Structure 1
C-alpha cells in the first residue's frame, strides 16, 4: 500500500501532463490549416474536402493509396483570353492566383505581347486564331490548348477563361480524387437539361451534357488521348462545324455522344452564369473557381462575390479574396486588414 501511494502521481503532475498534450493538440490543429509557404513549389495542399456534387452517374474514383498523389506540377492550366483584356483581366490574374502556379499556367491569346511574355516567363501563346468570340475562333483556341497539353507528360488538362479566379490548392485536391489513367471530364453544366443538337454526319438529333467553359473544365490524360481524333488542332474546327456549336458544347458532344463517356458535375466550379453573391461567405474558401461580370445585364449591375474590399481598386473583390487567404502570393499590400466576420 505504501509503495502504491508513492507511485501514484500527484494531481499537479497529472494537470501538467494534460496541459502538455492539450497544447500539443492545439498547435497541430492550428498548423494543419496553414498550407502556404513563400515558395509556390512548396505549397502544402490540405486534405481534400468533398468537392463533387450533383453527380448523377457513376465515375471511376481513385482507390486510396494506389498511386502517387497528383501535384500541381502534374497539371497543365490554359487560360483563354484576347488582346482586349490583356491590361485588365489578365493583369488581375497576374496580381492574384497566377502566383500560385506560374510554371503550370499558359495564356492563349490572339496577338504577340512582349510585356506579358516577360511577366510570364514566355507563357503567352499567340494562337493565330483571330480576335473575337466567333465559333471558329473559340474552337481554334481550345484545339491549340488541347494539342499543346497532349505533347506534355502531365496528368491533367484544365482550362479557364480570363474572367475566372482559380483556387489552385482546391483544384489539386479535386483532381486527387480521380485517376488520370481513367476517362474523366470534370466541369459544371450550364443548362438544367441535356443539350440537343443535330449531328450533321448522321442527320439525327443527339443530346448530351456539356461543361460550360466559363466555369473551368478539366480532363484526364486518358480521356484527352481518346479525344484527339476529334479535338486536335487539325480536327476540332471540323467537329464544331459538324454540330454548329462553340467549343465547350462541342467538347460535350465529343465526350458523351462520340466517346460514350460522362460529365462529372462539380458545383464548386463557378462562372458568371451563377450569381456570385449567392455563394455563402463561409463557403467561398471551398470553391475551385469564381467568375465575375462588372456589367451583368441579368442583375443590372455587378456580379461579384460577397466580400468586403480590403484592398484599393478592387471592383471584382477577387484581389481582396486572394490577399486575405493567400498572403505572400501575388501583388498584395503588406498589411491587409482582417475582413469583418460573416453575418
Structure 2
C-alpha cells in the first residue's frame, strides 16, 4: 500500500523538482546578464555608502552668520587626487595624516605619560609627538617623537601658551593634514578620531572640540594705549582635546606662528586653549564645532556608558570635587590596579594586545578555578 502511494505521487514530485530547477536557472542567468550589462558603474561615478557619516561642520555657523564652510579652492599639496572625470577628489584620510600632540611635563613622564605609551600611543607612535620641558633619554632611545621645549615646567599661562606655540609650529613644519592637541591625562581612541575627522570637508576651516563652559568665555583684549575691549568667544578645552584642519591652521599664522601665539595669549590674558578659540572665532570669524565625543576630567565621566566607549574620541581621569573621576567600566583590571580605567578601555578596544590578552586569560583561569572550587564544595555537601 505504501509503495503504491509512492508510485502514484512520484511523477508529481519529479515535475515539481524540474520546475524549481528551471526557475532557479532562469534567475541565475538573468542576474549574470544584469551584472555584465547595464548596471556597470561609470568610470567617474561616485559611490556613497548608506552608512556614510554626515558632516557636522555643515551645520556649524561661523561668527559672521554664514553656515557655508565650503572651501574656496581645493588644496593640491599632495593631499588630493584627480578622478577620471577631471574632478579633484580629496585623498582618503588616514591616521598617518593626523599630527597628535601630547602636552606633558618632566615630573609626569612616569606618573602619566607611561600609561599613555603603554596604551593608545602604542597604536599611533609614528604620528604622535610628545611636547615636554625635560629631556628623557629613555623615551628618546625607544624611538618616541619627543620635542623638548624651552618652556617653563609650571602650569602658568605663559608656560602653557609656550608649549601650545611649539605644538602649532611643529604641526606647521609637518606634512600632516590635521592638528590634534591632547593632554597627558587623555586617552585617545584612534579609530573614533579618524572617523570624526573623516566626516568633515578635508579642505575646510574646521575647529572641533568640547567647551568646558556652557556659554562663551568673556575676555578683555588689550589694545594700544593700555585700552581694553570686551570680547566673547567659544573655545575647546585643552583638557578634553581639540583638532584643527590644516587650512584653518594656516590662516591662524599671523597670530599663532613663532612668538605671535604667546603675544596673542598675553593680549587677552588667557591660557593656550582659550587663545586658540580667540584666534579662530574673533580673528578669523570661524565658529567652533561643538562635539560631545571629547571628554575632560572636569565633567562627570560616570555618565559615559560602557556601550558607547568605541565611539568616544577622548577620555580622561583625575580628581574632581575631592574624588577620583573616571569612567565606570568593568574589565580584567580592578579600580586599584587601573584607577584611570585606561588599561581596561584599551583591553576592550584592542583585546589582542599582548598584555591585555594575558590579563584576560588569567581572569578566565581564575573564574574557571572558582567554578571548579564551587563544584567541589557542592559535591562535598551533597
Q: State the TM-score bracket (shorter-chain normalisation).
A: 0.7 to 0.9
Matches within 5 A, 1:172-251: 172-201=194-223, 203-251=228-276
Deviation at 1:254, TM superposition (A): 0.4
Determine if contact 1:140/1:233 at 8 Å carries over to the other structure: no
* Per-residue deviation, residues 230-281 of structure 1 (Å, max 9, x unmatched): 1113211100000000000011110000111110110011111111111122
Q: Distance in 1 between matches of 2:55 and 2:302?
A: 19
Displacement of 1:332 in angstroms is: 2.7
Q: Tell me which residue corresponds to 2:279.
A: 254
Partner of 2:90: helix, strand, or coil?
A: coil
Work out the CA distance in 2 between the residues paired with 1:86 and 1:6: 74
Unpaired runs of at least 5, structure 1: 14-46
Q: How does 1:144-183 map to 2 (within 5 A)?
A: 144-183=166-205
Q: Which has the larger radius of gyration?
A: 2
CA shift digits 1:14-64 (9 cap, x unpaired): xxxxxxxxxxxxxxxxxxxxxxxxxxxxxxxxx6766959x65336479xx
How far apart are residue 131 of structure 1 and its match? 0.4
Q: TM-score, normalised by structure 2?
A: 0.72
Greater relative contact order (Cα < 8 A, sep 6+): 1
Give the 3 Å change call, closer, same or farther, for CA 212–182 of structure 1 in structure 2. same
Please, what TM-score do these two structures have when normalized by structure 1?
Answer: 0.80
SS at match of 2:130: strand
The 2-side partners of 1:263 and 1:332 are apart by: 37
| Counterpart position of 1:292 | 317
Q: Deviations over 1:58-114 (max 9, x none)?
A: 36479xx94221100111000000011100211110110011111000110001000
1:82 equivalent in alignment to 2:93? no
Compute the displacement of 1:327 (Å). Answer: 2.4
- Aligned 8 A contact 1:167 1:289 in 2: yes
1:273 matched to 2:298: yes
Contact 1:184-1:223 at 8 Å conserved across structures: yes
C-alpha displacement of 1:122: 4.1
Unaligned 5+ residue runs, structure 2?
Answer: 1-10, 25-50, 62-66, 72-87, 365-382
**Aligned residues of 1:310 and 1:320 also touching (Cα < 8 A):** yes
- 1:332 aligns to 2:356 (yes or no): yes
Equivalent residue, structure 2, for 1:8: 19
| 2:96 aligned with 1:73 | yes
Q: Distance in 1 between matches of 2:242 and 2:114?
A: 22
Per the TM alignment, residue 333 of structure 1 is displaced from its structure 2 partner at its CA by: 4.4
Superposition CA RMSD, Å: 2.9
Q: What is the CA–CA distance in structure 1 between the aligned matches of 2:317 and 2:70, rounded to whole Å?
A: 31
